[in-house]
Structure 1
Amino acid sequence: MKKYFLYSALVALALVGCDYNEDNFEGFDDFGKPTDVKKGSFEFTDWASLSGNPKTNKYFSEKDKAQDFLPGWLASAYPTADNGSSFTITYDYKDSKTELHDKYYSIKYYKLKDSDYKLVHGEGYYGAYLNKSTVSKLYKILNVEYKDAKEGDVVFTEFNYNETAKPQKMEDPIFTYDFESLTTGDVTSIKNWYVSASGAAWAAKEYDDNKYIQFSANGKGACEAWLITPSVKIEDINKKVGFDVCIGYWNADCLSVLVSSDFDGKDISKATWKDITSFFEIPQEPTSGYGKFVSAGSYELKEFLGKNVYVAFKYVGDGKNKQSTTYQIDNVVFGNDIPTLVKTEPMYALYEKTDKGWNSVNHQDILTLTPADYTAMGDPGKNFNFSSSIPAEEYLPNYLAKTINYPLDGDEKLMVYKYYNGSEVQVNSDSYLYSSKTARWTKNSYITTQTEQYVKSNGKWNFDPSVVISLPPTKSNATTVLYMQTATDWVWENIDQKLLNVTKKGDGYVTSYGNNEYYTGCSAYYGNVDMRVAKAREQYAAGYEGMDDEAIYNKMCEHLIEVMAEVLAKLNANAVPVDGIEVLYTVQVGIFTGTTVNDCTHQLVYKVTAPGKFEYVEDSFQPIQK
């Protein structure tokens, strides 16, 4: 943060007790009429008084510039301030994202549907998964799903994977339902299905990135529940119905499977139901914990040829009488063939649209979390995602610490992960930076601090990026000492040592004390620019050989202009040009020649031409008129 004394030279020097000021600097007794000129520096925190995004975000940005808000705030906070008032204000600013994060910030999320896999397997084959040989053909699905994608679009794909499984040759099912579209929690309705329950509720659950529907009387009294498929017309004698099932804490047979051709979709009591439970293999284990999903087999529907049928899952239990088995149902299918249950695992891949099509993103600084990564973190592994209650920033720093070997200070990694926002899964990307100082990875908030100057003129507050650096000629001013010593050090390193090949201070322009020099006259001891010609000759006569007093004085002025640009560059490396505004740095110094002719405060003006680069403004080295 810049901390300059932004007082006018007259005010600053009036408060200084240097031994030559009162005798030689004219105009210090006449300050004119008192005015309400306010000056200072502070950190802006009054976000609540602003409007729009800054009020909510508590920072400014490229979109919401400080210059659009702070002048109005200053007018309200300092209504009596006179022209000439100025403040340097430091505030929080949100930078633009890094190049890497900006490119991969907006990521679409796409989870493959059963129909998508057919684009890869081909007609006549069924398998809701990819294997080792087909995973590289994901681009075919993206070409169909994102026909209007533009170059640079990025999609996070999620799909089922089994390395060795081979798709089953079979006709397409006429109906299939996997419950993936449901939101987890109690279920009272499913589109086109009949759902009813007493004593408890059907529930949509998710485990291992797979959704299913569940019922249990555990902890309840008497329960009865019905889950009935939509109407399916049987037009082929070979049609069957099948489903997958998983058992939890079996203690009684509570589930039955029924079929009807006269159910009206509303009143189960008026329909004729045929119990077909015995045709399925529904496990009676485990008695503790949960098993795994297995195929319950199938039932041939040839007797219903030409009719519409409904298949019902009926649960009857009583938790108080140890009839509370948990049943999990998934993948209900009507078709000529019932797909063999294949154990798959979720897998993710990041794809980017390029001029050559969809390509997998393989960037060393982009890390896409895998299901195994979520599992290793603990709670995130329950559903393979983060959420408001499982924030990513609490887990990713440790993940990176364990994953990245020998990181360097400032290293950036872009973390791509799934996030549940309360209603759906989305894909987020966050930039994380490594600090060797703290030996930690932290989320890049892009919040930095910026400091700007605001000046009141013509009755209005205006943004003014220019800076006035007042260097009062006194031994006690820290800023003056810093600038004068920096100038002295520059002369020693660049003139005495490099140009003159001097090896000992005192043998060149820099005195043996090391805190002043007579190349420019800068003195960190006295806090002024000592341009006494006699002292300059005495210190380094060879540098001024053949010159009269006026020539020596002029030469030292030239040197001061040269060296002060270097000092500004060293001490103000963060100075940058601003489009449409001339950024000026004005340096005010006390010149001492030992006479009354030139002894007064002078100013030198420099223009910022590039980051940390200063160019002297021609003819700006002038005494300040009183």
Structure 2
Amino acid sequence: MKKYIVLISILLAGLFSSCDYNERNFEGLDEMDKPSGLVSLDYVVTDADISIIVAALRAEGKTETAEILNADKMFSEAAPASGLIPYVLSNKNRYPVVDIKSSAAVKYKYKSGRNETVSGLTGPGYKLGDSDYKLVWGDLFASALTPAKSPGEYLPKVLKAGVSSPAEGSFETVEYFYSEEEPVTTIVEGETLWTEKFDGQTKDTPISLTGWLNAKVAGNRTWDAKSFNNNFYAQMSSNGSKEVNDIWLITPRTDLSVINNPHLIFQVKIGYYNADC
């Protein structure tokens, strides 16, 4: 028994001696096998990252997953984060060197409950415009649907009018504005922003009014002041000119941004109209 104990002691002494030799002759050798590039990341996936993933998927021919992700701009059962986030984190330009056992806490958007029908809706869809809201509200329209003009009731009417020749059983994504509050409309009857009767103009001379433009696009005629029974008016005639006349009488600029359903009312008389255009 003593013989074995002595041999073991000698072996252990040899091992200890070897360690001391490495430390004396190869400084830092023991530290070289320890990870030095451990990284702990808190990362948020952005739309730019989604674009990187989509491009990579398309390059690999995985177009179905690419189009779903591109349409949603978030991960889902059909475009799982577990298989797609590495496309971003493995980018060599972003993280050129990291050691094994590095970690990353990744935050991203996830869309749940996506069925096969919705998965197939990858196009731009239908976006309601002024003409659609006018169909819902009438001439005095608000650019939004409301509880009184609910999407469930009015979107079918809008799509019926706006989508031409839809295929039976087809689906369409719809983008629209919605307000919980009903619009308040104030109508002021008879409000007049401006009126012009051409009083004070000199008969048979070009119309000259502040803010107005008597413009010649083609030809040399002008809009001239005329009078009949003390009623002044503007007149333009090509009679006898033997040329094409394209003459405009342009009113001053009028701010209609706060006016609902504005109207322009004017009286016109056309005489001796025998042009071939």
TM over 0.5: no
Q: Which has the higher helix share?
A: 2
Greater per-residue strand proportion: 1
| TM-score calculated relative to the size of structure 1 | 0.17
Q: TM-score, normalised by structure 2?
A: 0.32
Question: Using CA pairs below 8 Å that are at least 6 residues apart, which structure has the higher relative contact order?
Answer: 1
